[in-house]
C-alpha cells in the first residue's frame, strides 16, 4: 500500500494524486504550466517528504562516508553541503545524493525515495562501528520553496535572513516553537530553499502541517503556488539535472553522465568505484 506524507490531506483536497516511488503524491494542483511559471517568477512550494533522509554520526562519520561517496566530505564546514554519488565497484551509479555537515561529527544524507531500501542496505553492508546510521525519513518532513521570492517568504515566517547563506549551505531556524533545518538547495534550477521539519510523522503530522500552512499563507499574495511532481520534473529537466532511473543508473558511470564535478579523485581516502572512474577519465 502506498505511503502518505504528513500533508497528504491537503494534497487529496487540492491536488491530483498519483503513485510515485511508493507514495501518494500530487502530480499537479492548478496545472504544470502555471506551477512552472510561478517557480520562475515568484515561488512554488513542493512537498518532497518522500525523499530518503538519514543521519551519519560518530567519530568515524567522515571517514565512513568518504569511503563510499565520490565527493570529499572532509572539505565541508559545519552548515555546508554538496552533491555527491554512491557508486558500485564498477563505478555504476547506485544513487545521487546531497550531503550536509550539521556538526563536526554528524551528517545529513538525502537521496531518492525509490532507492531508500537499496541505499540503506549498501550503507549497512559497509557499516563502520564508529559511524552510527539512523533513517529519519519517516520522522521528518521535507518541503522545497523554490523561486526568486522563496527567501523572502521564509524570512517572513522565521525572521532569518536566509538570502545571505551560500548555495548548498544551511542553518537551523525557528518558526514559532518549531526548529527546522533550512538549506539553500533544490531540484528546479531556480534559487530556492529546502526545509526539514523534525519530529513529525504521518501519525503526528501537526508540526509539518503548521510549516506548510504558514508558507502557503505567507505566499498567498506573493504569487506562491503549491506545486507537484509534474512541474518539478519539467524544471529539473530544463536545468539539466539528472533523474535516477531515467538519466542515471547502475549501468552508467559519473564520467558517462558528465557528473565529474561531483567526483574528487584527489581526496586522500579511497572510495568504492574510484579505480574504474580514474581509468575511464585517463582513457578519455
Residues 100 and 222 in one domain: no
Q: Are residues 142 and 80 located together in one domain of the fold? A: no
Of 232, 266, 254, 262, nearest to 29 (Cα)? 232
Sign for the CA dihedral angle at 56, 59, 65, 71 comes to: positive
Residues 6+ apart with CB under 8 A from 207: 6, 141, 178, 197, 198, 199, 200
Nearest one of 114, 106, 135 to 123, comparing CA atoms = 135
CA distance linking residue 191 with residue 218, whole number of Å = 18
pLDDT for position 221: 86
C-alpha cell at 21: 516511488
8-state DSSP, 80: B
Task: Say yes or no: 41 and 173 in one domain.
Answer: yes
Residues 47 and 57 in one domain: no
Return the closest-CA partner of residue 224 out of 144, 141, 142, 149: 149
d(CA 108, CA 161) in angstroms, rounded, equals 22
Q: Which domain holds residue 172?
A: 8-51+138-238
CB 84, CB 262: distance < 8 Å:
yes
User: Could you give the strand order of the β-sheet that contains 178-183, starting from the edge strand earlier in sequence?
Assistant: 170-175, 178-183, 192-198, 140-146, 43-47, 224-227
Assess if residue 82 is contained within a domain.
Answer: yes
Considering the domain architecture, whether residues 89 and 127 belong to the same structural domain is answered as yes
Nearest-5° Cα angle at 99, 95 to 100: 165
Q: How far apart are CA 60 and CA 54, in angstroms?
A: 16
Task: Give the distance, in angstroms, between the CA of residue 265 and the centroid of all CA atoms in the same chain.
Answer: 24
> Any idea how long the chain is?
284
Please report, for residues 44, 180, 193, 261, 274, the alpha-carbon distance to residue 196 in angstroms, rounded to integers and kept in the order given: 16, 5, 10, 26, 32
Q: Which residues of the chain have pLDDT under 50?
A: none
Single pTM value for the model: 0.96
Rounded distance between C-alpha atoms, residue 165 and residue 130, angstroms: 31
CA-based nearest residue to 81, from 67, 95, 71: 71
Residue keyed to cell 506573493: 222
Instruction: Tell me whether residue 276 is in a domain.
Output: no
Whether residues 46 and 186 fall in one domain: yes
pLDDT by residue (tens digit) across 213-249? 999 999 998 899 999 999 999 999 999 999 999 999 9
Rounded Cα distance, 236 and 232, in Å: 6
Write down the pLDDT at residue 1: 86
* 75 phi/psi in degrees, rounded to 5: -80, -10
- Grid cell, residue 176, equals 514559532
Q: How many domains does the chain have?
A: 2
Question: Are residues 191 and 214 located together in one domain of the fold?
Answer: yes
Q: Is residue 256 part of a domain?
A: yes
User: Would 231 be classed as within a structural domain?
Assistant: yes
CATH number for the domain that contains residue 248: 3.30.70.1400
Residue 269 falls inside a structural domain: no
β-strands 170-175, 106-111: how paired?
A: unpaired
Same domain, 19 and 59: no
Round to whole Å and give the CA distance between 226 and 217: 11
Amino acid at each position: 500500500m502506498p505511503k502518505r506524507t504528513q500533508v497528504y490531506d491537503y494534497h487529496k483536497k487540492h491536488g491530483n494524486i498519483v503513485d510515485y516511488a511508493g507514495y501518494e503524491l500530487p502530480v499537479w494542483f492548478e496545472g504544470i504550466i502555471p506551477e512552472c511559471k510561478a517557480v520562475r517568477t515568484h515561488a512554488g512550494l513542493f512537498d518532497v517528504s518522500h525523499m530518503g533522509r538519514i543521519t551519519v554520526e560518530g567519530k568515524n562519520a567522515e571517514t565512513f562516508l568518504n569511503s563510499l561517496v565520490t565527493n570529499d566530505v572532509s572539505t565541508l564546514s559545519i552548515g555546508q553541503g554538496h552533491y555527491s554519488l554512491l557508486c558500485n565497484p564498477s563505478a555504476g551509479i547506485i544513487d545521487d545524493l546531497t550531503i550536509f555537515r550539521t556538526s563536526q561529527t554528524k551528517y545529513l544524507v538525502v537521496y531518492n525515495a525509490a532507492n531508500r531500501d537499496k541505499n540503506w542496505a549498501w550503507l549497512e553492508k559497509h557499516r563502520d562501528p564508529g559511524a552510527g546510521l539512523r533513517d529519519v525519513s519517516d520522522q521528518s518532513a521535507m518541503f522545497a520553496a523554490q523561486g526568486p521570492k522563496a527567501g523572502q517568504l521564509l524570512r517572513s515566517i522565521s525572521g532569518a535572513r536566509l538570502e545571505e547563506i551560500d548555495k548548498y549551505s544551511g542553518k537551523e531556524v525557528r518558526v514559532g516553537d518549531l526548529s527546522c533545518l533550512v538549506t539553500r538547495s533544490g531540484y528546479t534550477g531556480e534559487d530556492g530553499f529546502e526545509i526539514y521539519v523534525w519530529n513529525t510523522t504521518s501519525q503526528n503530522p501537526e508540526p509539518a502541517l503548521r510549516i506548510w500552512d504558514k508558507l502557503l499563507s505567507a505566499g498567498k499574495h506573493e504569487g506562491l503556488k503549491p506545486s507537484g511532481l509534474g512541474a518539478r520534473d519539467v524544471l529539473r529537466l530544463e536545468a539539466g539535472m539528472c533523474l535516477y532511473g531515467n538519466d542515471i543508473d547502475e549501468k552508467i558511470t559519473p564520467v558517462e553522465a558528465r557528473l565529474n564535478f561531483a567526483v574528487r579523485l584527489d581526496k586522500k581516502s579511497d572510495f568504492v568505484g574510484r579505480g574504474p572512474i580514474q581509468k575511464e577519465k585517463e582513457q578519455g
